[in-house]
Amino acid sequence: MPKTARWAATLTLTATAVCGPFAGPALAAPQPGTSGLYAPSAMVLTTGHGEYAAAATPERAVTLTCAPRPAGTHPAAVEACAELRASDGDFDALNGTTGAFCTKQYDPVVVTVQGVWQGKRVAYERVFSNECVKNSATAALFSF
């Protein structure tokens, strides 16, 4: 192999190693229906019986991702994300089911939310007097 050909091959290999291959797209294309850049919104929600999270054994846990599109193991991810968007991520401002009839039985249920909402860390804990009150607190978010 002539000296010039070896030099050209060395330059090509070096450029490929530093810059990547020349064929194909440089970056992965965004998924259809997404903007490409978005603040992450992904959380883990748990529920269990007890008066506070540290003393309660989680009985159920779901994941909820709201960006770029609703996903996760939450049974109503689309509705739960819509509720969070409507309240601007304020869990205390969520409006639940109006007119729900719940007993006054005291069997505390604690819900926790850990993760990120629109790029900001979330650590939320709320205790409800019983399962019915928990389920009526939001239309979909805490119903899992």
* 3 assigned to some structural domain: no
Whichever domain contains 64, its CATH number is 3.30.350.10
Q: Is the pLDDT of residue 107 over 70?
A: yes
- How many CB atoms sit inside 10 A of residue 71's CB? 15
Q: Please give the residue that has the higher pLDDT: either 95 or 106.
A: 106
The rounded distance, in Å, linking the Cα atoms of 65 and 43 is 6
Query: The domain containing residue 59 runs over which residues?
Result: 37-137
pLDDT confidence tier of residue 143, bands split at 50, 70 and 90:
confident
pLDDT tens track for 16-47:
333 444 443 333 344 444 455 778 899 999 99
* 30 assigned to some structural domain: no
* 12 assigned to some structural domain: no
* 15 assigned to some structural domain: no
* 18 assigned to some structural domain: no
* 31 assigned to some structural domain: no
* 42 assigned to some structural domain: yes
Average pLDDT over residues 4-25: 41
pLDDT of residue 68: 87
Average pLDDT over residues 45-67: 93
* 2 assigned to some structural domain: no
Number of domains in the chain: 1
Q: What percent of the chain has pLDDT over 70?
A: 74
pLDDT confidence tier of residue 1, bands split at 50, 70 and 90:
low
Q: Is the pLDDT of residue 125 over 60?
A: yes
Nearest to 66 by CA among 91, 44, 40: 40
